[in-house]
Structure 1
């Protein structure tokens, strides 16, 4: 059994990117096996590797885990970024669900037509400014982390969301000083800093090749 987790997904962000962020934040190296063709996907199905016939899938500790949320929960619990008790964990989960909802709006953009994308950008901005960012701004008032006194998966997910939304609207944090300070603090953490640098396993913004690969594997 390989000591490093093995991530099975496309060579792009999608629903695996938050998992890459989580591993990076706790300093765990991982390997990746990409789905490049429909045959790759069908082979995994034949082997029974994909519960519910879906990716992402992560091999870790002798298990083959699917479902992004379940995988993240396992990583968070294993590497102690899931709070000190149930009360902290439920707030971590709530904050994660918020960032996940916001990120879902961004994940769909590469698959939209050029006519649809401007409307989606506006929706992302509206939701970020009016629904999500005010919540995190308030939660980080006079605090370094969202929940408790230690780094949690909620912080990692929020950091990913901030960086990603800024790729769509570069000045979106201008009226959120707590989020700006949080982003600066997280960016200075050695593990996060390394992941943000060129040459890391962080994936670039989805391009046409990625979109065509996903469509060819899953929908052809």
Structure 2
């Protein structure tokens, strides 16, 4: 539709735009909330993690020096702002998942954000025991465990190889 990626072909239709694709898949696989309030919270948390992941993805378009500074700033921001928020959500909610004690696409997004940041700083969760437990719990879901197994289709973070200028 917009002559760009991502593009997903599923159920006989072509989906474009990351947020629309994720929303479609969440609805298709019942990864939304049981009501409008839960769905709103799931979408809000998922969008918060998408913001984190976008910072990593955009870093590849910077010079090596700018990229290093940008990624270091992102890790610092995650340790001081973003991860404390999710730690608080887990503490206040007191359940295994972010919303309604039901696995949702916000849980998937948070796990992916954690994994991306850990690739930059393996100790990033050292001050966040609930996020560590969350990561372990989500990683142990059989389909996710299989997906994250070495040799799976999980893609590494973008690097300079992914960015080629063709004029």
TM-score, normalised relative to structure 1 = 0.72
For 1:139 and 1:207, the matched residues in 2 are separated by: 32
Structure 2 unaligned runs (5+)? Answer: none
Tell me if 1:164 matches 2:116. Answer: yes
Aligned-pair CA distance for 1:52: 2.2
Post-superposition offset of 1:171: 0.7
Q: Which residue of 2 aligns with 1:138?
A: 88
Gaps of 5+ in 1: 1-50
Residues paired across the two proteins, number: 165
| Aligned twin of 2:145 | 193
Alignment of 1:55-66 (within 5 A): 55-66=5-16
Larger Cα-atom Rg: 1
Q: 1:206, CA displacement in angstroms? A: 2.9
**1:154-213 residue CA offsets vs partner (Å, 9 max, x unmatched):** 00000000011000111110000000000011111111111111221111233433222x
Structure 2 CA distance for aligned equivalents of residues 74 and 86 of structure 1: 16
Aligned-partner SS, 1:198 = coil
For 1:208 and 1:68, the matched residues in 2 are separated by: 21
Q: Is residue 102–residue 127 contact of structure 1 (8 Å, CA) maintained in 2?
A: no
Which protein, 1 or 2, shows the higher relative CO under an 8 Å CA cutoff with sep ≥ 6?
1
Alignment match, 2:30: 80
How big is each residue's C-alpha offset from its partner over 1:36-71, in whole Å with a ceiling of 9 and x where there is no partner? xxxxxxxxxxxxxxx222210111111111110001
RMSD: 1.2
